[in-house]
Amino acid sequence: MAAKVDWAKYIEEQEKTLINDVSDLKLNKKKDSDNTPNEETNTEESTEHFSPAEASLLQKIIRKGLVENKNNIEIQRQDPNSPLYSVKTFEALHLKPNLLKGIYEMGFNAPSKIQETALPTLLANPPQNLIAQSQSGTGKTAAFVLAMLSRVNPELHYPQVLCLSPTYELAIQTGEVAAHMSKFCPEIEIKFAVRGEEMPRGAKVNEHIIIGTPGKVLDWGTKYNSFDLSKINVFVLDEADVMIAQQGHQDQCIRIHKRLNEKCQMMFFSATYDQEVIEFAEVIVPNPLIVRLKREEESLDNIEQYYVKCANKQDKYNAVTNIYGTVGVGQAIIFCHTRRTASWLAEKMTKDGHAVAVLTGDLTVEQRIAVLDRFRNGQEKVLITTNVLSRGIDVEQVTIVVNFDLPLDVNGRADCETYLHRIGRTGRFGKRGIAINLIDSPEAMTICQTIEKHFNRKIKFLNAEDSDEIEKIGA
């Protein structure tokens, strides 16, 4: 459990020295130390490190539809004087007809699990505050965007709704959802408060909704007085867990929060629910309804696990090509420990005529999106990546996952949780999957045995040089 943080006291101390101009994280630029020639050229063991914002953005990008979660909503706190409702249809929410039309145009037929409970609360009168947690892809963004759009009075030409995201890219993602959902509501205007967007000194924001990052919003709302924070009726804090991990953002969020009026409706959304997140949330959101969507447990029931003994990296490569060439697979994901190994493997497989995509930390956001889109569309059959995709990607055609390198934690021990999420990329949608682990040392064998013992599931030996045996696993 995270150490207890007195957020209110922390912010009071920070405000004395806090500067306004905190640069937003740029996902397409790594720290200088990440790009020095010596690190990538000489340090084979340097692993990929992805910020929480990067991982969250990729999970938003790669989800083309909602995750179907059969688990129940857990209500952790509610006002006993306020009845809790849930809905099974969007019509039951009594939305404006053009908003309802926009929802259906986006392909939403019925509310997701988190939306069933969150939306009646978010749209209730008098407004209720909400803290909601559920994993990526369960419909959180659509829920709060719908509430934002529903609360706008188009007759009032000033900002009434404020939505904060931790990075430029995540704010743009939210803005795209809002733009699609309000397609038939041209009277609702949206303004981005992100890097590259400047307000001339003395100019005022007239749009109804501001979607932005904390630093830019703080500048516009306090330094330049481009809009009046006290007139905001709805305040949304998205990606709260990422926001806390982002240096300085929690300070800025609370400084913005202090300028809001006491009747402003607060909506707080997070993909995780650790103690630090909740303590921060309770500073921001007074008297909230707290709802959680219990995480869908990844299952190993329909995934067959194997290990292959290899002498070295070249032997690992031979095993990969033998397996992939023999088993009738749709698409495969291969996980490597370092970007150097991933690049080496991609180059060799491409030379051998395989349609391969590689996704590592040295790509820009735009390049990563392009890689994922091509893989999803089947243009490449093999995706070579690092731990950034151990969670989140659901591609129905993925039938085999290869651990070119087994996952390790920071202490070099077996990372069982990452292993579970990695091989969970196959066997999706109730289909049968195959996981192959390549073992090239006694240490790797020990890691494999630790994982086997942890999950109490047999990882069978596979002779990758025996084509008959390989064919059996794909039968």
What does 442-459 look like in DSSP terms, one character per residue? HHHHHHHHHHHHHHT---
Indicate whether 330 belongs to any domain. yes
Indicate whether 204 belongs to any domain. yes
Sole residue written with tokens 């949780």: 417
- Residues with Cβ < 8 Å from 298, sequence gap 6 or more? 420, 421, 424
243 and 355 belong to one structural domain: no
**Distance between CA atoms of residues 255 and 214, nearest Å:** 9
H/E segment holding residue 471: helix 467-473
Indicate whether 2 belongs to any domain. no
Q: In this structure, what token pair is assigned to residue 122?
A: 């978010």
Helix axes 275-284, 249-257, angle to 10 degrees: 30
Q: Which of 293, 324, 358 is the last residue of a domain?
A: 293
- Residues with Cβ < 8 Å from 283, sequence gap 6 or more? 7, 8, 11, 254, 257
283 and 324 belong to one structural domain: no
Q: Which of 261, 293, 325 is the last residue of a domain?
A: 293
> What's the confidence (pLDDT) of residue 42?
37
pLDDT tens sequence across 255-309? 999 999 999 999 998 877 777 778 888 888 888 888 876 655 555 777 889 999 9
254 and 307 belong to one structural domain: no
Indicate whether 453 belongs to any domain. yes
Written as one letter, the residue type at 341 is T
**Distance between CA atoms of residues 195 and 18, nearest Å:** 19
Q: Which of 272, 293, 314 is the last residue of a domain?
A: 293
Quick count: other Cβ atoms within 10 Å of Cβ 365? 18
pLDDT tens sequence across 207-254? 999 999 999 999 999 999 999 999 999 999 988 877 876 667 888 998
Number of domains in the chain: 2
47 and 71 belong to one structural domain: yes
325 and 432 belong to one structural domain: yes
Residue 460 has pLDDT above 80, yes or no: yes
> What's the confidence (pLDDT) of residue 452?
93
282 and 320 belong to one structural domain: no
164 and 137 belong to one structural domain: yes
Query: Among 154-163, 191-200, 443-452, which is the least confidently predicted range?
Result: 191-200
> What's the confidence (pLDDT) of residue 34?
34
279 and 314 belong to one structural domain: no
Distances 96 to 102, 113, 147, 243, 435 between C-alpha atoms, Å: 10, 22, 11, 32, 48
474: confidence class by pLDDT, cuts 50, 70, 90: low
243 and 367 belong to one structural domain: no
262 and 385 belong to one structural domain: no
What's 205's domain CATH number? 3.40.50.300
Indicate whether 253 belongs to any domain. yes
Residue 348 has pLDDT above 50, yes or no: yes
Select the more confidently predicted residue: 217 or 20. 217
Indicate whether 323 belongs to any domain. yes
**Average pLDDT of span 117-130:** 88
259 and 143 belong to one structural domain: yes
Q: What is the mean pLDDT of the chain?
A: 78
Select the more confidently predicted residue: 29 or 191. 191
Indicate whether 298 belongs to any domain. no
Structural domain containing residue 442: 303-473
Asked whether the beta carbons of 291 and 118 are under 8 A apart, the reply is: yes
Buried b (16+ CB within 10 A) or exposed e, 269-305: bbbbbeebbbbbbbbbbeebbbbbbeeeebebeebbb
In angstroms and rounded to an integer, the radius of gyration of the C-alpha atoms of the chain is 24
Ramachandran angles phi, psi of 133, nearest 5°: -130, 125
Indicate whether 50 belongs to any domain. yes
64: confidence class by pLDDT, cuts 50, 70, 90: very low
323 and 201 belong to one structural domain: no
